[in-house]
Chain A
Amino acid sequence: MVWLRIDPITRKRFERFRRIKRGYYSFLILLAAMVLSVFAPYLAESRALIVWHQGLPYFPTFEYYTMDTFAQDPPPAWGMGDLETEYLRLQREWRLEGFLYDRELGEMGSSPDALSALDAKYPNHGSFVVMPAIPWDPYQSDFWSNEILNEVDLLLEAGDSEGAEHLARRDGLEELADVIYSGEVRALIADPGRSPTGDLKGLARTGAMPSIAGLGVVPPNAPGWNRRHYLGTDSQGRDVASRLLYGFRISIFFALFLTIFSQVVGTVIGSVQGYVGGRFDIVSQRVLEVLLSIPFLYVVIIMAALFQPSFWLLLGIMALFQWIGITFFMRTEMYREKTREYCLAARSYGASHLRIIFRHLLPNALTPLVTFTPFAVVAAIFSLTALDYLGYGLPAPTPSWGELIDQALQIENRDKLWLTFAPFGALTITLVLVVFIGESVREAFDPKQYAKYE
């Protein structure tokens, strides 16, 4: 109870921290990012947030809806409707219905008969789907860019130009859809100057129709608004933005767990060393130095060979090494604080060891720990990233920054700059924010600033 109350020194420090704008805003941004990452399933997810279907709301985040629920056609290979709805496709299909409804309404005029005929033809024209900001979950592959022109081509070859136009329209290829609708597409792809292969793919490759110029290529695909891959996709067609976000989520929680664990353990052991002192301190210090000299990476490699690395295993291995550094801080802090006269006073009236440690020493000794924390967190993020990069980190499909960096540095991806910029940008921004925070905390907690001598 007593040490929960904020004493004036601490309050002053917090106030000063708030006044150092750069650090304070960095802190708010990083905090917001952490909070946001907790809500990642609502930010980056292939399930819709809300589906409004024929006057009823649905919330797919909380419940499983099959394709049959919304009368969505299953993919050709499956042919049955008990799969989970593909919400991004559903959103596009319903938008298409709305577009066709309006277009035919314009052509037919709004007689009551025509209206009811249109309502029957396009029953979903009033329904809509609200997707999360990033409509991709981090594991989902998207080969659309590679396949869409093939599909339209197939329909055109089969003579179904209405189907082809609808498909192009559904997926936001307005220019292509208009050309098919007007019938000019045959002339275009028949021109060998524009399409050497005589199909849409050739048309895309020559760049004769700019709006489809980037299509027909295998992932990684460049950033684009159409499929809402804001940062492009990786080699397996997974959304980079989504993987960044989930990767941040995993590493920030990894870092927080690791920091909290190592600070608690390091504080307890370091405090005992410093408080007890003497031979116990010297001997235990030697033991810790031996522990510290074990090369961390070898241990991880050996462990990774024996066990499948998991979040908790990695956390355990890293925690094994991380707390040792904390003990050095706490040990010296306790050594210094315990010789202060207020501590001698407490001992002289017979205060118990626990009372001295918890009421007197720790509140005064924890300051360096606080200033150290932002850097500990960022160090933990970076260690996990490095391990993932080296391949000893979290197992394969787990979204991670290190794995993204690894992809970016593959020879064949050297020209796919978005793969490089996304993880390195994220790392850089995080690092800069944390450095700003750490620097401001250090400044705000600087004892020279508040000490008053008269």
Chain B
Amino acid sequence: MTQNASGGGSSPESTAGGGAGSALQGGDALLQVRGLRMHYPVRGGVLGGRIGSIRAVDGVSFSLRKGETLGLVGESGCGKSTLARALTRLETPTAGRVLFEGKDIASASGAELFRLRREIQMIFQDPYSSLNPRMTVGEIIREPLAVHRLGTKEEQLGKVRDLLETVGLGADMVGRYPHEFSGGQRQRIGVARALALDPKLVIADEPVSALDVSVQSQVLNLMVRLQRERGLTYVFITHDLSVVEHVSDTVAIMYLGRIVEQGPVDQIFRSPAHPYTRALLEAIPVPDPRQRKDEAPVKGETPSPVSPPPGCPFHPRCHHAIAECRSTVPELEVMETSGADPAHAHTAACIRRHEI
């Protein structure tokens, strides 16, 4: 909590957080991310010197309340997985803070980090590579408990059986190997593993993108049910806005390593402010063509995160771009449609957010 107090909106890393970030002062926020940056070196030469950097995540800030779900949406390559790895401290961020209950995960180390890892677990995208093919389902789910030495082996095995039941697989599956299961079942195993340590926060990186549409909703329903039963907090990453609509309380739209719009789910869907958000919404297939909105689809390719465009990173593809967009970097600003609740503020990073 002490760290939390010192990490107000005035700290240098949190400039991109804008007004919304500074308005949220701990209290009910489980997770606060401030100015998170993840730059990868581009190496060259015989000894691998640094010759440039990939700005995979470039100044991300948001807050998340306990028991709520943040939907993180963006095209492939915009830095969603990198952000997830930084939040779970699979990688150490280049800059910024990740405050979990006031403790900074980004700078934690040793025993403190080990304790924090219990609280934050991750569900992965690929149900085939996320389970070690040489371990039984029981071993896979039990390992987190063994690593953290929680209970005796019998207690751990009992917990593994409970978890298997909870995620809708029989307790008798403990001795099976991952290859005996379908993609949806494997993803349930992944969920069970993530829940083994009773975490408070679960980061789900495209948990259903690799699954059949019919199976997707089953896994989504499971996750929603578990959230209700266990009071879990989710960061739900996806490239599919339609999935986010069902599970999220708030939504953050990412583009080229930055959040370009953020707000309560109904506001993002009803009155999107950023041209990129509109384009994404436009891309959702709707059954009735008369309901289509009139925003033109985005043109061109996503620019490279090695040399992002100056000014607004979206300007080469934006239909509303003006000269100013090329020079001024827009920050997340609160929209006038935003409600009073700071955690649910509607913010957008567009110079022309009020005009269009």
Interface residues of A (CB under 8 A from B): 2, 7-10, 279, 282-283, 286, 340-342, 344-352, 355, 359-360, 363-364, 450, 452-454
Contacts and interface: CB of A to CB of B under 8 A. Distances in A.
A26 to B, nearest CB: 28
B128 A453 contact: yes
B134 A7 contact: yes
Contact of B134 (A9, A341, A450, A452): A9
Given A342-B132, A452-B179, A350 B90 contact: no
Interface in B155-187: 177, 179, 182-183
A348 B126 contact: no
A-B pairs with lowest CB-CB distance, top 5: A341-B130, A282-B48, A349-B144, A341-B124, A350-B117
A350 B148 contact: yes
A356 B143 CA distance: 11
Contact of A351 (B46, B129, B131, B147): B147
Contacts of B125: 341
Given A7-B134, A279-B48, A454 B183 contact: yes
Contact of A341 (B113, B129, B135): B129
Contacts of B120: 348
A345 B130 contact: yes
A142 B114 CA distance: 75
A185 B47 CA distance: 87
- The winner among A9, A286, A340 for most chain B CB atoms within 10 A is A340
Contacts of A286: 46-47
A341 B190 CA distance: 10
A345 B139 CA distance: 13
A337 B121 CA distance: 20
Nearest to B190: A345
6 contacts: A344-B85, A346-B143, A349-B117, A349-B118, A350-B113, A355-B147
A189 B162 CA distance: 101
Contacts of A340: 129-130
B40 to A, nearest CB: 11
Contacts of B43: 282
Contact of B177 (A8, A283, A360, A454): A8
Contacts of A283: 47-48
Nearest to B117: A350
Contacts of A2: 139
B133 interface: yes
Q: Give the interface residue-count category, chain B.
A: 35 or more
**Max chain B C-beta neighbours (<10 A), residue from A2, A10, A282, A344:** A344
B312 interface: no
Contacts of A7: 133-135, 177
Given A342-B129, A346-B143, A9 B179 contact: yes
B121 A349 contact: yes
Given A345-B193, A350-B117, 16 more contacts: A8-B177, A9-B177, A9-B179, A279-B48, A282-B43, A282-B47, A286-B47, A342-B132, A349-B117, A349-B121, A349-B144, A349-B148, A350-B114, A350-B148, A352-B147, A450-B179
Contacts of B46: 286
Given A8-B179, A344-B85, A349-B147, A360 B132 contact: yes
Contacts of A8: 177, 179
A349 B197 contact: yes
Nearest to A2: B139
Interface in B71-129: 85, 88, 90, 113-114, 117-118, 120-122, 124-126, 128-129
B90 A342 contact: no
A349 B140 CA distance: 12
A341 B126 contact: yes
Contacts of B133: 7, 9, 364
Given A7-B134, A452-B179, A454-B182, A345 B122 contact: yes
A360 B143 CA distance: 11
Contact of A345 (B47, B124, B128, B134): B124
A228 B135 CA distance: 56
A350 B117 CA distance: 6
A380 B58 CA distance: 53
A310 B148 CA distance: 52
A349 to B, nearest CB: 4
B134 A363 contact: yes
A12 to B, nearest CB: 9
A364 B147 contact: no
A279 B46 CA distance: 11
A16 to B, nearest CB: 15
Q: Which of B43, B133, B182, B190 has the most CB of A within 10 A?
A: B133
A346 to B, nearest CB: 7
* Of listed A342, A344, A359, residue having the most chain B CB within 10 A: A342
Contacts of A454: 182-183
Contacts of A349: 117-118, 121, 143-144, 147-148, 196-197
A342 to B, nearest CB: 4
Contacts of A352: 147
Contacts of B132: 342, 346, 359-360, 364
Contacts of A347: 90
Contacts of B85: 344
A86 B133 CA distance: 62
A137 to B, nearest CB: 48
Contacts of A10: 134
Contacts of A364: 132-134
A344 B183 contact: no
Contacts of B117: 348-350
A401 B128 CA distance: 49
A186 to B, nearest CB: 83
Contacts of B88: 348
A7 B176 CA distance: 10
A58 to B, nearest CB: 55
A360 B140 CA distance: 10
Contact of A348 (B48, B90, B128, B134): B90
A286 B179 CA distance: 39
Given A345-B193, A364-B134, A350 B147 contact: yes
